[in-house]
Structure 1
Amino acid sequence: MTAAASAGLGAAFRGVAALRAAKPLHPYGVLLRATVRRTAGGRWGAPWLDEAGEDRGAVRVSRSAGLPHPLPDVLGLALRVPGPDGPADLLLASCLAAGVPGRFVFAPRLDVAARCSSVMTYRTATGREVVLGVAPPAGGRRVPMDLATLPERLAADPLLLDLVVATPAGPWQPYGTLEVAGAAADEPDPALAYEPVRHPLPGLRMAGPLARVRSDAYTQARRGRGADEADLDREVPVRP
């Protein structure tokens, strides 16, 4: 069943990517500077969640369907930071609500300062299953999802989001912050290919058979748009 689903979804992603000559989902975005500050004290069983640290990288902000502003669209946040064995990726999308089942349902938004979820779950080294996400802090400001003006606006006033983690049905708990600032590179949207299965965060692995389906779909999407496989392992071209 998993093999059939993988083949079917992969073929669909490859076809859409070929027609668009771009990513089948989140085709256009902007790459922004990202600073992750993680606090110590967690007992999840993964260094990314339990150990204090600061990681500087980039986050690609995108619209899932590529609809123009000011129409609502599913917000995508693709974070890439340096990892111990190469780049580490985290893909998040705006979700319906904080609780269950809302955290597992994509939802269109008008605002970049939105609650987002990994939707798919991760497993830690100790076997715990978790969902990752970001949430706007209480009293935070609105940031319209206008990709054309976003780099300039966040260069002047960076956006701060809370990094949060939960068991699939449990309450969200903060483990750090994500600061999103201005443009990360000279190109607004440089060629980077994200792959959270191949590029896991420290101590975390995507859980369940759908991880393979997702990975295969991304591979076919890259082939469909003629992407260079080197884009997959490219380090984040962050401005000093």
Structure 2
Amino acid sequence: MKRYIFPLFFLFISLAHIQAQENSNRTLIKAALHGWEYEVKAGISIGGTSPIPLPAEIRSLDSYNPTLAVPIEGNAIKWFGVKKKWGLNIGLRLENKNMITKATVKNYSMEIIGDDGNRLAGNWTGGVKTKVRNSYITLPVLATHKLSNRWNIKAGPYISYLLDGEFSGDVYEGYLREGNPTGQKIVFTDGAVAKYDFSDDITKFGYGIQVGADWRAFKHLKVFADLTWGLNDIMKKDFKTISFAMYPIYLNFGFGYSF
């Protein structure tokens, strides 16, 4: 009798899996008949967090590294009408908005951290390295339109909540005017650097607009590109060290699977 236990067990598991798959297929078919479509997406995010336009304090952008960021997203799409040309897309996305840049600046408002941990505020002239690594959970609500059997376009607002944030970097090869542009001059040369960290000053909530397009390569496989443009400063309202607002602007592109 014992020799039949394991074959019967595996047969039971297989039948249960088949039944669960059949139930899932029936649910998806019913949803499709009522105008619902579901999809999951993953890709790569490239962009930057920047003032618009670049202020006079930033004299040149010397280097840019988007670093690796992989957004993961799930969407529910409700199609309306007989022809189902128009729909409403509601999603949930886990994403990173990253970048590392180097720039040459003049009279750039700054607060550096000394070796003793004390902070010194003033106006910096010289090199600045900035590292941004922000993780968000984002809710896009988009109007979507079928241009053809393969092409969809979409646009609408999004809101984001910050899960983890970093805005930090170094200053190098320059000098700091303590307090104001005519204050005491503190020079950094011969490879000397000073750090700064504004991570605690990043705002928790962000909002903006998103536009994009999907191309259905196969029955279930999509290729997508989405541009997100933040409309509020990533820093808190009471943060005054950086004298201009900074906005996250990122392009997400990759593949999606439609159920």
Structure with greater proportional strand content: 2
Structure with greater proportional helix content: 1
Q: Which has the larger radius of gyration?
A: 2
Instruction: Indicate the structure whose relative CO is greater, using CA pairs within 8 Å and at least 6 residues apart.
Output: 1
TM-score range (shorter-chain normalised) is: 0.3 to 0.5
